[in-house]
Every structure is written in C-alpha cells, then in structure tokens.
Amino acid sequence: MLDKADMLARKPADRMPREIASGVFWIGDCLAQRHKGKIYHGYNAAFLVAGKTASCLVETGHPKDFPVIERHLNALFARGVPPLKYLFVTHQETPHCGGLGRVLKNYPDAILCGDVSDYHLAFPQFEHRMRWMKEGDEIDLGGRTLMAVEPVIRDLRTTWWGFDTGERVLFPGDGFAYSHYHEDGHCGLVAEEAVSLDLPDVSAVFADLALFWTKFADMNVYCDRLDQLIERLGVRTIAPTHGLPITDVKATVPKVQQGLKAAALMPESGTNEKVVLTGATAG
C-alpha cells in the first residue's frame, strides 16, 4: 500500500489501485465538478473485491473513466488477483454503471448481478449474462461473499448496496456522498487522512448536484437507519462511490451524518454555470 507521501506525489489516477481492506481494492479517478464558481472533486469509484477463486467488481466507474478502470483492473490481475467473474452495480445511474457494456465485453466470463433493471434495454446483447439478486442474496468469491443489503440512502428505487462478508466492507453507492478538495491533496486519501475536509460543505455540494431529495426529507430518520444497518452488519470499512473511503467507522460516520444533516438544511441551489466548450478536454 502506498503511504501518504508517495500518494501525494502522484496524479490522482495513478494513486490507485489502493487496498482499503484486505482484498478490497479502490480504483478509478476523480471527477471535477463546477459549482458556485469553484471546482470540486468527487469520486465515481469502483472497487474490486478479491476472493480465493473469483473477483467481483463493485460499480464500473464513470463513463469517462473506463480506460483508467481497465488499466487498474489489469494491473491487479497481473499481480495474481483472481479473475473477474462478477460485476455488481448499485443502481442504474451512469456514473455507477456507465462502463457496464465494456466490462462485459472485455471480460467475457463476467456476469452482472444485482437489480438488473434497465440494463437489458441499454445493452441487449448482454441480457443472457444478467442475474437478479434479492436482499440477502450472496455471490461466493471463495472465502468471502458479496451480499445485497438494504440501500438506506438511495435515489432510484432499484438500488441495492453491497456488503463484503470477509472484511465487513459496506459499498453504499450514493450513501456517504461528498466531494473533496483537490488543492488540499485529498485525491486518493481515505476520509481519516483528509484532515482539512469540511464535511458540511462538501456534503452540501453533493446534495445540490446529485441528491435532490435529501434537501426535503427528514435526514435524521435515515441517519438512524444507517446506524442500525452498520450495527447489524458489523461494518468495519465503508467504500462509497462518491465519497472518500471510511476506515474508522465509529469516528467518521457521525461526522458524515452531521454533514448530511447540515446539507439538508441549506437551500438547494442546483448547478449550471454557463460555459461553452469544444470537447470534453477543454476547461
């Protein structure tokens, strides 16, 4: 595992893969988002869970990141990580599953698992490789399983969260979603290392950009439910798609929840800075 000094000397995409728990590798890249005149970084992360006989990719990363994700995956497989046999995506929004078609194409032994709504409409050529999961269903990776669990924070009704029974890692998709400060070197750090992170600020940014409903609902009841889920599953690490991974659940989760509740009280402001660009690389 890279130490923090090594990490900061590298570009964000070169700081991965990072092993956040034994056999659980964080891969992907940051996404810069313009908001209120600033540029915030967020993740659209993917994670590879490696068992003794098989690996499962959780999320596929943002569509723009597929070359990076594929590079990270192949680096892990070259190191002897078991082959990719399963793909689990939390839900159908494209920052979570935009690479799905290319994962299934490039890894022909892999099957897609979870709530597989819509994917037969987007990628009909792979419908025969899609398998439904219900809550509590598990994917056997050899020595550990990936289980579909209650999605406490979600937007689409078809969301499942994932849970690695080996290292007790929770994959909460849109839960624990917050931006981070590129300028402060947060890219590639876990939450506990990003000491200057202002969680109410960065949680509010994500609520504006992606979780509209959290500006209206009573987030106290959702935070209480989160606590119950974490307790019931014995969660030791949290691997969110958009936030930084949480390795000290007891210390950090209350801060994130405080940020979520604070963000809910701030008026929603939306996105939308008018800029005309040619191509994706401009700006």
CA angle centred on 23, ends 165 and 83, rounded to 5°: 100
Stretch of 81-89, 96-104, 136-144, 164-172 lying at the interface with other proteins (CB under 8 A): 96-104
Binding pattern for the stretch 197-226 against other proteins, x by CB under 8 A and - elsewhere: ------------xxxxx--xxx--xx-xx-
Among 252, 92, 249, CA closest to 173: 92
Q: Given the complex with other proteins, which of 1 and 277 has the nearer CB atom?
A: 277
Q: Which stretch binds other proteins (CB under 8 A): 14-22, 71-79, 82-90, 273-281?
A: 273-281
Residue from 19, 93, 138, 227 binding other proteins (CB under 8 A): 93
Which are the contacts of 228, defined by CB distance < 8 A and separation ≥ 6?
Answer: none
Q: Which residues within the stretch 61-80 sit at the binding site for other proteins (CB under 8 A)?
A: 62-64, 66
List the one residue from 17, 95, 240, 245 that touches other proteins (CB under 8 A): 95
Q: How many CB atoms lie within 10 A of CB 204?
A: 27
Q: Is residue 111 classed exposed, middle or buried when 0-12, 13-18 and 19+ CB atoms within 10 A define those classes?
A: middle
Q: Is 276 a binder of other proteins (CB under 8 A)?
A: yes
Minimum CB distance to other proteins smaller for 251 or for 265: 265
Site residues for other proteins, window 133-152 (CB under 8 A)?
A: 135, 150-151
Per CB under 8 A, does 280 bind other proteins? yes
CB 84 within 8 A of CB 73: yes
Smallest gap from Cβ 247 to other proteins, in A, equals 27
Pairing of strands 145-149, 161-164: antiparallel
Tell how far CA 233 is from the center of its chain.
19
β-pair partners for 56: 49, 86
Q: How far is the CB of 128 from other proteins (least distance, A)?
A: 14
Q: In this chain, which of 8, 111, 156, 249 binds other proteins, going by CB under 8 A?
A: 156
Say if residues 125 and 133 touch (Cβ distance below 8 Å). Answer: no
Map residues 225-254 to x or -, x wherever contact with other proteins holds by CB under 8 A. x-----------------------------
Q: In the window 107-136, what residues touch other proteins (CB under 8 A)?
A: 116-118, 120-124, 135
Q: Determine the residue type at 125.
A: Q
Q: Which two tokens stand for residue 282?
A: 């401009």
Is 38 one of the binding residues for other proteins (CB under 8 A)?
Answer: no
Tokens of 259: 């940020």
Cα-Cα-Cα-Cα dihedral sign, residues 71, 73, 76, 82: negative
Is residue 246 within 8 Å of residue 176, measured between CB atoms?
Answer: yes
Site residues for other proteins per CB under 8 A: 32-34, 62-64, 66, 91-95, 98-99, 101-102, 105, 116-118, 120-124, 135, 150-151, 154-160, 209-213, 216-218, 221-222, 224-225, 270-281, 283
